[in-house]
Structure 1
Amino acid sequence: MPNNGYETSYEDRKKRRVHFVYKRETHERQIFMQELKDIRKRKEIYYVKTMKKLIGPTWLQALSVLQRKALDLLEFCIYQDLLEGRPVRTANIMKELGLYPRPNDVDLMTCVYLGRRDPKEMLAHLFLVTYGHTIDVKRAVYNLNARLMLSGILYLGQDNLLELLRKRFSPNKEERPPKTKVKREKKPLLESPYLQEMTAVLFQRPKREPFRAPPLPNLDDLNDPYEEELPIVKKPPQPPPPSPPPKKRLPRGYCDKIAGIINFEPYSTITTTRTIKTVTQKNVRRGRSSKLSLAINKSFGISVTRTKKRRKKITIPNTGISNSKYTINGVFTVRGRTVFVLGNVTILPSEGTLINGGYSLVNGDYINIHCGFRGFTPASKSNTCDCLKNWQDVALKYVKEHKCRCGHHYDYGNEGTFPAEELPYFHKATPFSPFQFNYHTIYNLDEKQLYIEKEFKRVWETESALQVGGNVAIEKKDKKKKKLVKRSSTTCLGQNPKPEDYLKCALRQMTRLNVAARLPDVHLVPVLKEWMRWRIYGPYDASERKRKLLQSFEFWQTFMTQEKKGLTHVSPKPDPIYSGVTTWQYKQDLNDKFKKYMHKYKLDLFRSYAYSTNLLWPTMFQAEFPNRKFREIYFSYLSSRLEDFQFFHPYITREAVERATVLNKGRYICKPHGAEDVQQ
């Protein structure tokens, strides 16, 4: 029965209404929470992208205090290792820097010798030996070892780069005219001091003028044509397949054997009977030896040809002309004589060579591909006589003296308004007709008429005049093409240069003076970028500092949220070896495997913490103005090498939350009966 309003009670209608309102409000709240979740997710993604941009280049890794101290000692260690002849101290520096796996002694000693003048060159050679390309080539992804090497090069050359930038962007000295001191005339002293004139001065506090950056010097030499960046190094292509094995040569009698050729030849069986007498010392001295008796028995039988004749080497045919090339179709025997059959003979230019295009497999045989012939430049001609030069001078003189008044040279050298391929004096050739002379335009010198005829012919041939809006469509296509083309400034600085543009153009001129200037995207390094910004705009004011600190707090909260979701968490890989029960017999083997397992886990944790530290460090603006010791305090948590790594880190949020959860679960578990007695 239908539930009408008259047949149901008031309580049922009220209950149904409550259910309806609750369902609607719950749905609205779900929609609101989903939108809020999406907004927070987009906000976190935006903050993480901003944090990655603040790092700078993809190869930049923030170095701890211990790593910087080790790099400061690198030059002295290189000098001592060269005196000793083995890279012991430099290997310890690489260990302190955090390289794993570390280079072997042979490669390290080679790099130490090549970089004996500059430790930056030593690290650059080590990078070249490790990865197979120089440091100025840009890569899409850098592992931790590559980031540490390149960051070490930047740290060693950073002070010198700043000094070079300071000299390059130093303001021009203004020559002010010297001030001439005006001597004041001394007033005569009066008899009474009360009659002397006195001026009263009101004290005012000196106003501090805001800092203004000095003007930039002349930067015309930086505004050179722009050079495109080097392409990103990708994985090398797979090596080509190996060359086919050489064709196996069969013996000469093999073909006769397959064809079933049988020769009736007499052969002899030689039976040798040897009678040896006892040889004494005297017989040996006299030259006596054992006697041999040979019994030769001749007979006839069927046999395969076994004659081993030395094969005569075929001589290559020679035409007697040095620049002739030919193809050989085969070798035939004509009247008992081997003759080459030539396919075609080609006379090449002087010093020409045959182009071999490789091989191809056709019906089981490898056949060389013939790609034609390559001709070199012919020999230089002998000195020509003076008659040709004199004739040219006479012809040019005649053209200059006998040209018409309008300036037309009778189309000598196609000097008209049209280029050589658009001559208006000929009709264009077709597949069925050759070039034809145009008698209407040969004496016509009106440029406008020729231009109009040429444009109308172009429009008519493209059929754009027959379509409605054809010109409009062409214009739209041209506009689209113009939009797709990336506008690149012909100069380095461009129209509105930013601090990065100034840095990029200045560092291009410092590549020979400092190895660190060759690093890819070095103009995005935060230290250099901040110095350039300070040089152009001056220091931050109070409002900008406050905004920076608030932004740093927001980055910290985002990082904590990402850590709770497992940003830097490395879960140990489950291994069934350590889950079962073992005995003393396999204890040592199990310990060795567990040490290797723990070493791999340590390495993963070290790389994860290095990535998180590098991600968070540039967002901490507290290290810039309020506190100079902030870097040492922050980096005291991060170990510089794998050997000093600790598993318990108090600043990792994910591990702290997991420990708190475990403790909270254990608080409300009732202890079994008698547990207190066991603890006592």
Structure 2
Amino acid sequence: MVQTKNGYETSYEDRKQNRLQVVYRRQTQERQIFMQDLKEIRRQREIRLFKTMKNLIGPTWLQALSVLQRKALDTLEFSIYQDLLEGRPTRTASLMKELGLYPRPNTVELMTCVYLGRNDPKEMLAQLFLTTYGHPIEGKRCYYNLNARLVLSGILYLGLENLLELLRLRFLPDKEKKPPKPKPRPQPQPQLESPYLQEMTAVLYLRPKRKPFRPAPLPNLDDLNDPYEEEPPIAKPPPPPPPRPPPKKRLPRSYCDKIAGVMNIEPYSTITTTHTIKTVTQGNQLRKTKGSKMSIALKKSYGISVSRSSRGDKRRKRLTAPNTGISSTQYTINGVSKVHGKKVFVLGNVSTLPPEGDLINGGFRLINGEYINIHCGFRGRPPPQKPGICDCVTNWQDAVFKYVKENKCRCGHLYDYGNEGIFPPEEIPYFQKPSRFSPFQFNYHTIYNLDEKQLFVEKKFKKIWDTDSTLHIGDSAVIEKKDKKKKKFRRSSATCLGQNPKPEDYLKCALRQMRRLNIAAKLPDIHLVPELKEWMRWRIYGPFTKSVKKDMLIKSFMFWQIYCGLEKKGLGHVYPKQDPKYKGLTTWKNKQDLNDKFRKYTLKYKLDLYRTYAYSTNILWPTMFQAEFPNKKFREIFFSYLFSRIEDLQLMHPYNSREAAERANILSKKRYICKPDGAEEKD
């Protein structure tokens, strides 16, 4: 029996099997699509959370400093004083090494910065940044390398305490004079007939309740509400210009002379024969064989001059086409000739074109011994451009306004200021357009009213009444009907604080007034520093509650788990670059060369590791919420695993989970190895 895929001749078992395969294939495809969507959702979630972790850092230039780096910055002022006494920046250079700068500034630049910043260590670091990057610290950049981040973070650390003190003074609450409470005067008690009739008060002891913390009210901040404009980031320098194209290949001069027909015909002499004429070109003269040194020395000894002729030393000038300065003149050049040693053009004819257009030259013909130009017509020139519309509208000054009032405008704008006719009335609304609250309506009063003046006044009055402009409340009160649907004018677009200011808004407005008192206030986006934001938040809202602290603990744990998952995928792992120098067979002769190259290779790899670890440290540090709950011991422990200096770096990172897993896998493979027979040690 013939079995087909579908039909009556197929058995029940085959149809059941086909059905199961179709259902299985469909379910498998749906699961694959679901898993792909789930994978994409998780990837987007990881990207979003990673951006959240990066936003917790604060400004782009902020770098977390270890305890050793902070100690080095604390001794910077004394080191500057000692280096100025000695005249060489020995101690300051060692502090730059402790800070983690690589490559480090040279001695001349460092000594200049030390002298300019002798009064303030923050000024010294600011001068070092200006010398290295070519712009002051106020300039905002889209990207900062590690050296720039360390220098700017050092300036912030040195000026942070002073900034906090200035903020305390600025946001000090106003003193309120409370009126003194009147002292109660004891009233005389009436004398009772019996002491048993005296009222007795029973005292009940209650535990004192702790009042919730209420932060002091903010002072008057009207001076902070000035307009504020953020400076755009500094643009990257333009790339260097592309290299010049290679020079065109120049043909030999003899070839050019041959094409131009340049030749020298020598006169008859006894040396030359009558039946030969020698043609000598300039290229042939240059290719003459030079005499040997011995022959030149002999000629010098006999007083024979061996210098070349001045004619050969001159550089050949490039021929320029004849030009009379008349654009309507054309030449026909037949060739080049040499007259009295000077090369000139041989002109066939000269034709002058009429002034109204360019001649279309169709060539020339020789007719009866005369060359005749073939004239095919003239090229039409484009019509002259129309003069632009005058700018009488843009220059509304008093003199122009007076002139336009007294004289009718002739430029095409057709403005009329009462010279002719009456002022045209505005469009009168005879119909009311439908909206989501009312249907289309006819205004019967305006349809049957013939007095345009009355209709115009009613429309104007209704427009003023709807916009509340009769009260004259600021400039933003005059809002037309069509602008009602737009977003209302926010105060924050023109002022600093705005309507609902956040802690960073208060900082942004207050810190710009402290730039003369503290250099650290000049840093870009300093209002986003976590320590300053936390101080301002505490000043406005007070300390955290227990529920908020619990949420922060859960967030920190979640961020750490996310980072560990990203680390297993390769984040923070530096792969050693494969260098072809170390491949192939080598001998003992190459030992020193290979050692030197490998030393440079190791230093470069360590530098890449150091920068990667510094980047990962900077991302993980704000997830510990040390700005809200600072702890010096925790900072020491944190930076003992995640290195902050290139001197403390190890090629084997003990805190990287991926590298730790790789090492454990290698050790487990080497641990269980069965030795071959005969390899066991005999007792």
TM-score band w.r.t. shorter chain: 0.5 to 0.7
Q: Deviation digits for residues 535-556 of structure 1, max 9, x if unmatched? A: 1122221111111111111111
Out of 427, 433, 455, the position equivalent to 2:408 is 427
How many pairs align?
A: 482
Shift in Å, 1:515: 0.2
Question: Within 5 Å, which residues of 2 pair with 1:7-406?
Answer: 7-182=9-184, 184=186, 198-236=200-238, 238=240
- Assess if the C-alpha contact under 8 Å between 1:55 and 1:526 holds in 2: yes
Does the CA-based 8 Å contact 1:138-1:233 persist in structure 2? no
Q: Could you tell me how far 1:3 is from its partner in structure 2?
A: 3.8
Corresponding residue for residue 525 of structure 1: 529
The separation in 2 between residues aligned to 1:235 and 1:653, in whole angstroms, is 40
> Aligned match of 2:423 in 436, 442, 450?
450
Of 515, 519, 525, the residue aligned with 1:511 is 515
Corresponding residue of 2:577: 573
Match of 1:394 in 2: none
C-alpha separation in 2, matches of 1:548 and 1:421: 72
Counterpart check, 1:558 vs 2:562:
yes
Q: Of residues 647, 653, 656 in structure 2, which corresponds to 1:652? A: 656
**Residue of structure 2 equivalent to 1:600:** 604
1:19, distance to aligned residue in structure 2 (A): 2.1
| Post-superposition offset of 1:27 | 1.5
Q: Tell me if the contact between 2:408 and 2:419 (Cα under 8 Å) persists in the aligned partners.
A: no
Q: What whole-Å deviation, never above 9, does each CA across 1:255-302 have from its counterpart, x for those lacking one?
A: xxx9x9xxxxxxxxxxxxxxxxxxxxxxxxxxxxxxxxxxxxxxxxxx
The one-letter amino acid of 1:588's match is: Q
1:436 and 1:489, CA in 2 relative to 1: closer, same or farther beyond 3 A? closer
Partner deviation per Cα, 1:488-535 (whole Å, 9 max, x = no partner): 721111222111111110000000000000001111111111111111
Q: Is the 8 A contact 2:491 2:498 kept in 1?
A: no
Q: Deviations over 1:549-606 (max 9, x none)?
A: 1111111111011111111111111112223343332212211111111000000000
Amino acid at match of 2:74: D
Whole-Å separation in 1 of the counterparts to 2:669 and 2:110: 53
Cα distance in 1 for residues equivalent to 2:158 and 2:402: 60
**TM-superposition CA deviations, 1:318-370 (whole Å, max 9, x none):** xxxxxxxxxxxxxxxxxxxxxxxxxxxxxxxxxxxxxxxxxxxxxxxxxxxxx
The question of whether the paired residues in 2 share the 8 Å contact of 1:60 and 1:147 is answered with: yes
- What is the Cα deviation at residue 197 of structure 1? 5.4
Q: Structure 1 pair 520/622, CA: closer, same or farther in 2 (3 Å)?
A: closer
State the Cα distance separating 1:414 from its structure 2 match: 6.8
Q: Distance in 2 between matches of 1:622 and 1:136?
A: 27
Q: Distance in 1 between matches of 2:514 and 2:90?
A: 33
The one-letter code matched in structure 2 to 1:532 is M
Q: Which residue of 2 aligns with 1:632?
A: 636
1:89 deviation in Å?
0.8
In the superposition, relative to structure 1, how do residues 441 and 222 fare at CA in structure 2: closer, same or farther (>3 Å)?
Answer: closer
CA distance in 2, matches of 1:26, 1:665: 37
Cα distance 1:414–1:481, how it changes in 2: closer, same or farther (>3 A)? Answer: farther
Structure 1 residue 675: Cα displacement? 3.9
Deviation at 1:628, TM superposition (A): 5.9
**Separation in structure 2 between the aligned mates of residue 632 and residue 192 of structure 1, nearest angstrom:** 77
Q: Is the 8 A contact 2:531 2:627 kept in 1?
A: no
Residues 153 and 194 (structure 1), Cα distance of their counterparts in 2 relative to 1, 3 Å cut:
farther
The answer for the alignment partner of 1:539 in structure 2 is: 543
Q: Give ranges in structure 2 of 5+ residues lacking alignment.
A: 245-261, 265-308, 312-396, 429-479
- What letter is aligned with 1:110? T
Query: 1:80 Cα shift?
Result: 1.2
Q: Is the 8 A contact 1:623 1:630 kept in 2?
A: no
Change (3 A) 1:128 1:623: closer
CA distance in 1: counterparts of 2:403 and 2:55, whole angstroms: 53
1:465-484 correspondence to structure 2 within 5 Å: none
Secondary structure in 2 matching 1:629? helix
Residues 125 and 151 of structure 2 are in contact (CA less than 8 Å); yes or no, is this contact kept in structure 1?
yes
The letter for the 1-side match of 2:227 is P
- 1:492 and 1:501 in contact (8 A); partners too: yes
DSSP 3-state at the match of 2:179: coil
1:64 and 1:638 in contact (8 A); partners too: no
| Conserved 8 A contact 2:490-2:499 | no
CA RMSD of aligned residues (A): 3.9
8 A contact 1:426–1:436 mirrored in 2: no
- Per the alignment, do residues 33 and 97 of structure 1 end up closer, same or farther by CA in structure 2, a change over 3 Å counting? same
Query: Using the alignment, how far apart are the partners of 2:310 and 2:632 within structure 1?
Result: 99
**Contiguous gaps of at least 5 residues in structure 1:** 243-257, 261-302, 306-412, 456-475
SS in structure 2 opposite 1:50?
A: helix
| Residue 442 of structure 1: how far off its partner (Å) | 3.8
- Are 2:502 and 1:498 equivalent residues in the alignment? yes
8 Å CA contact 2:140, 2:233 repeated in 1:
yes
Native 8 Å contact 1:511 1:518 kept in 2: yes
- The 8 Å contact of residues 55 and 614 in structure 1, kept in 2 or not, is answered as yes
Contact 1:71–1:152 (8 Å) recurs in 2: yes
Which residue identity lines up with residue 122 of structure 2 in the other structure?
K
Give 3-state SS (helix, strand or coil) of 2:28's partner: helix
- Tell me if the contact between 1:96 and 1:640 (Cα under 8 Å) persists in the aligned partners: no
Preserved CA contact (<8 Å) 2:4 2:10: no
1:223–1:626 Cα change, 3 Å? closer
Deviation (angstroms), 1:643: 2.0
Flag the 1:454–1:198 CA change in 2: closer, same or farther, 3 A. Answer: closer
**Whole-angstrom CA distance in 1 between matches of 2:111 and 2:191:** 86
Shift of 1:223: 0.7
TM-score (norm 2): 0.64
Alpha-carbon offset, residue 165 of structure 1: 0.6
- What is the rounded CA distance, in whole Å, between the counterparts of 1:18 and 1:240 in structure 2? 66
The answer on whether the counterparts of 1:170 and 1:216 sit within 8 Å (CA) in structure 2 is yes
Contact 1:137 1:233 in 2 (8 A): no
- Is the Cα contact below 8 Å between 1:120 and 1:156 reproduced in 2? yes
Tell me the TM-score normalized by structure 1.
Answer: 0.64
How many angstroms does 1:169 deviate by? Answer: 0.7
Aligned-partner Cα distance in 2 for 1:481–1:238: 50
Q: Paired residue for 1:641, among 642, 645, 660?
A: 645
Shift of 1:623: 7.1
Once the two structures are TM-superposed, the CA of residue 199 in structure 1 deviates from its matched residue by 2.2
Deviation, 1:304, is 11
